[in-house]
Amino acid sequence: MMRALCVLVACLAATLSAPSARALNTREVDDGEDRFDLVELDLAHDRLELHWQDDAGKALASIEGLRTWGRAHDRELLFAANAGIYDREFKPLGLYVEEGVTRRALNAAKPRGTSGNFSLQPNGVFYVDRAGNAGVMTTERWQQRAPDARIASQSGPMLVIDGEVNAAFDAESQSEKIRSGVCAPSPRRVVFAVSETPVTFHRFASLLRDEAGCRDALFLDGTLSQLWTQQTGYVGAPAMMLKPYVGMFAVFGDRAAKSGD
């Protein structure tokens, strides 16, 4: 009896200390024409983080760079994704909040003409607040009442707004690219998505609304976008299309706990 109890306690302790990979849910959506990969996080188990630079202030630049940084801190990377659009100086183009510190201010400019996807209106912000609740809101709403964010990344355009595909998207558009996005169907549930095949904005937004249950969703980037998990490896853009990343979303586990040290 005592031996059985000791075994039970040991198993429970191992479960509690192990990385929370079980909370990462990955799935592929393939309708015979387009393929999409979705990664769902349960924030009750997975602590979503945002990373840009290493301890010396040098850009991590890639998911592999992020994984190397994690290993140097005895942390095992479980999930990663590029976090949004950046400028020519390799700095986030809009709001960037990392562990409660605002490193780039909200960008509320509405430039005329062609100035990239960030300027397509409305753009918005994905965030996780200090209470552990996630959400997506337009930049205008953020200006009116900004949450107390632990992490936040501004990008654009909004893909889905109050349950509707962004009205600026043309369902008949011929502009197809690899695209990535994020939403929070509920405060503790976050879904990241990337297309494996080039798709239009309207098609991608419809996927997030209909397959992921997003009432508000934000475009992260296109062409160079990838998601990475321990289970799937890299999905999204092929390696030849990649460029250095700036901000990256990440979920880590404890390497020491995983190895039993």
Please check the confidence at residue 113 and state whether its pLDDT lies above 80.
Answer: no
- The model's confidence at residue 3, banded by pLDDT at 50, 70 and 90, is very low
Percent of the chain residues past pLDDT 70, beyond the cut: 86
Name the token pair of 113.
Answer: 């003409």
Q: What is the mean pLDDT of residues 101-112?
A: 86
**Kindly report the CA angle at 27 between 78 and 117, in degrees rounded to 5?**
80
Total count of domains within the chain: 1
Residue 141 in domain: yes
Q: Is residue 3 part of a domain?
A: no
Q: Could you read off the pLDDT of 162-196 as tens digits, one per residue?
A: 999 999 999 999 999 999 999 999 999 999 999 99
Confidence band (pLDDT; 50, 70, 90) for 111? Answer: low
Beta strand extents in the chain (DSSP E only): 25-30, 35-42, 49-51, 75-82, 96-98, 101-104, 124-129, 134-138, 149-155, 158-161, 164-165, 179-186, 189-195, 217-222, 226-229, 233-236, 248-254
Quote the domain boundaries for residue 117: 21-259
Q: What per-residue confidence (pLDDT) applies to 141?
A: 97
Map residue 209 onto helix, strand or coil: helix
Could you read off the pLDDT of 47-75 as tens digits, one per residue?
999 999 999 999 999 999 999 999 999 99
Is 7 domain-assigned? no
Where residue 115 falls among pLDDT bands split at 50, 70, 90? low
Residue 126 lies in a domain: yes
- Own/partner pairs, 6-11, CB within 8 angstroms, 24+ separation: none
b/e map 215-231, b = 16+ CB within 10 Å: bbbbbbbbebbbbbbee
Pairing of strands 35-42, 101-104: unpaired
* Cross-strand bridge partners of residue 148: none
**Which helix (H) or strand (E) element contains residue 204?**
helix 201-210
154 assigned to some structural domain = yes
Tell me whether residue 15 is in a domain.
no
Is residue 5 a part of any domain in this protein?
A: no
Residue 2, domain member (yes or no): no
